[in-house]
Amino acid sequence: MKITNSFEQPGQWFKANLHTHTTNSDGDTPPAERVAQYREAGYNVLALSDHRTVTEIEELNSKDLLLIRSFEGHPPCLTGPIYHLLCLNVPKGFEYEEMPANDMIAKVNAVGGAVFVAHPYWCGRTVAQILALEGIVGLEVFNSTCGKIGKADSSVHWDYVLAAGRTLPAIAVDDVHCERDRFLGWTMIKAEELTTEAIMQAVRTGSYYATSGPEIKDCRMNEGVVTLECSPAREIHFHCRNSSGRSFYADDGELFTKVEFQPSATATYVRATVVDERGHRAWTNPIVF
């Protein structure tokens, strides 16, 4: 899959939570109240993604908060526990039954949707199980509710998939079930307008970055050198295939807002992780050579 560099795309940034539960499945809050929480917190995009249930959004939508009709599906996995697939942008009345994972993905894609692998670390997903999925557009690198058992960050799974040659971007989400899960991880989407069509186009092409706090202002490659600009950070890590890459650590009393890195000639991709003073992180999508 060819993904774009969001920092080179036209448009503006929209703050999104793409994984949300309500009392229509195992969340603790009714849909209308959940929507109000994210609207008041300044989000621009919210996907209601109840387990095995398509929560209706028509009466809840507004100009300042775009709702995306979605669900979390759980098809079987022949080599492990059931899959958790975040299925975005399905039409009103969309029906499905638990079917093979690739059939579910194909059905969602056929109606203009997009599918992400949810919390692979929490699920105990193997790389082979992820690579077996056809037609997915990404995975969750950060899931706040999975932090309850110390498995919020799926960066290693992401790098293994990238090293295997599968170019996938990654989102950060709340996967909110209760108050403790809210507003801890989000995705900054670069799109030309706040419409379902524009947001979903950005989602499908990786025009976004994931964060649990830091802001990434720019990240691009020019003549073999990657330049990254961000909010003040104590660490910046550049990840490449296998043992390639480099980490930058700020001296005591100093913080980074801009670094440069030249990947080796053998690197096939580079992505960056930014860590702020509180330990919160942000992740760029990979730049593929």
Q: Do residues 123 and 144 lie in contact, with contact meaning Cβ atoms separated by under 8 Å?
A: no
Does residue 79 sit in the same domain as residue 64? yes
Question: 250 in a domain, yes or no?
Answer: yes
Task: Point out the domain boundary residue: 165, 189, 211.
Answer: 211
Question: 169 in a domain, yes or no?
Answer: yes
207 forms beta bridges with none
pLDDT at 131: 98
Contacts of 138 (CB under 8 A, 6+ apart): 116, 117, 168, 169, 170, 171, 206
Does residue 266 sit in the same domain as residue 177? no
Q: Is the pLDDT of residue 277 over 90?
A: yes
Does residue 107 sit in the same domain as residue 61? yes
pLDDT in tens, 216-227: 999 999 999 999
Does residue 19 sit in the same domain as residue 158? yes
**Structural domain boundaries, residue 166:** 10-211
Task: Point out the domain boundary residue: 211, 244, 279.
Answer: 211
pLDDT in tens, 127-168: 999 999 999 999 999 999 999 999 999 999 999 999 999 999
Output phi, psi for 180, to 5 deg.
Answer: -65, -25
pLDDT at 185: 98
pLDDT in tens, 60-119: 988 899 999 999 999 999 999 999 999 999 999 998 888 999 999 999 999 999 999 999
Does residue 51 sit in the same domain as residue 141? yes
Q: Is the pLDDT of residue 1 over 80?
A: no
pLDDT at 96: 84
CB atoms inside a 10 Å sphere around CB 46: 28
Does residue 163 sit in the same domain as residue 256? no
Arithmetic mean of pLDDT over the chain: 96
User: Cα–Cα distance between 18 and 44 in angstroms, integer?
Assistant: 11
Q: What is the CATH number for 139?
A: 3.20.20.140
